[in-house]
Amino acid sequence: MQFTINYSTQAAALLQAGKIEIDRFKCPPWADLVAEARQVAPVYVHFDLRAGNGRLAAGEVDFDEIERFLIETDTPYVNVHLLIEDDVVGSADEAIERMSADIEAAARRFSADRIIAENIPYRVNSADEIGGKYARECVDPAVIRAVLDATGAGFLFDIAHARITAQNLGIDLQTYIDSLPIERMTEMHVTGLGQINGMVTDH
């Protein structure tokens, strides 16, 4: 198991001063930032890929660039966010089909065992910082499980996202977590929660 934190100049200074210990810095796929962070510690790239909007399946994503980051940083997984940027989809089956199609496209390039799918934070009647309003089906544990079963992808479990989702849906947190495919978990994100303009957020 490896412990990774988001890269920042402050975190880099703490690491160099011996005040924290980590295995890697987590970075978005920004070449300059990755290069800067790699001067201090190994890097793990977290991609802004979305399963459900059709771009992966349509070949509108630069797979070559993703592969370069994987090779350059020895990042073991390609993460995707289970995210359909619509208020409503026709059915749970439609959500499963759309998200699975994108993941399968990524898996054809990188193999299913390197794809991990992340649960997103569901907010009621509000815009989410990673993509605006989206379908409730995206956070349905049965839908998430069906997508993983159909594609062979692993699960990236984000605890804060689960907390936000449970709160906004009025569901007991432990009940919601217990219904997620935790047995498929490959990676876990842990962060605190705060409020921005009255909205509970993890960023």
For residue 123, tell me if it sits in a domain: yes
Confidence of residue 131 (pLDDT cuts 50, 70, 90): very low
CA distances from 125 to 2, 87, 138, 199 (A): 36, 9, 15, 11
With respect to residue 197, please indicate whether it lies within any of the assigned structural domains: no
Same domain, 122 and 66: yes
pLDDT at residue 196, as a whole number: 58
Mean pLDDT of the chain: 91
Count structural domains, the chain. Answer: 2
Asked whether residue 83 falls in the same domain as residue 120, the answer is yes
Model-level pTM?
A: 0.90
Is 73 inside a domain boundary?
yes
90-130 tens-digit pLDDT: 899 999 999 999 999 999 999 999 999 999 998 776 554 44
pLDDT band for 33, please (50, 70, 90 cuts): very high
Segment 3-21 mean pLDDT = 97
Handedness of CA 94, 201, 118, 184 (dihedral sign): negative
109 and 67: one domain?
A: yes
Instruction: Say if residue 37 is in the same domain as residue 128.
Output: no
Q: Beta strand pairing status for 194-196 and 199-201?
A: antiparallel
pLDDT per residue as tens digits for the range 177-198? 999 999 999 999 998 665 655 5
Mean pLDDT of 66-74: 98
140 and 156 within one domain: yes
Same domain, 52 and 39: no
Domain coverage including residue 38: 1-46
Its sign, for the CA torsion 5, 8, 11, 17, is: positive
Which residues make beta-bridge pairs with 117? Answer: 80, 155
Lowest mean pLDDT among 52-61, 71-80, 125-134, 164-173: 125-134
In the block, residue with structure tokens 């619509």 = 86
Domain boundary among 29, 46, 63: 46
Indicate if the pLDDT at residue 60 is higher than 90.
yes
DSSP secondary structure string for all residues of 145-172: HHHHHHH--EEEEEHHHHHHHHHHHT--
180 shares its domain with 100: yes
Asked if residue 82 and residue 22 are part of one domain, the reply reads no
Q: Are both 91 and 119 inside the same structural domain?
A: yes
Give the per-residue pLDDT at 86. 72
- Note the pLDDT tens digit of each residue in 148-174: 999 999 999 999 999 999 998 899 999
Q: Are strands 43-45 and 50-51 parallel, antiparallel or unpaired?
A: unpaired
Q: Answer for the pair 72, 33: CB distance below 8 angstroms, yes or no.
A: no
- What pLDDT score does 90 carry? 80
Residue 124, C-beta contacts closer than 8 angstroms, at least 6 positions apart: 168, 169
> Is 103 a member of any domain?
yes
Q: Are residues 13 and 70 in the same domain?
A: no
- Is 81 found in the same domain as 15? no
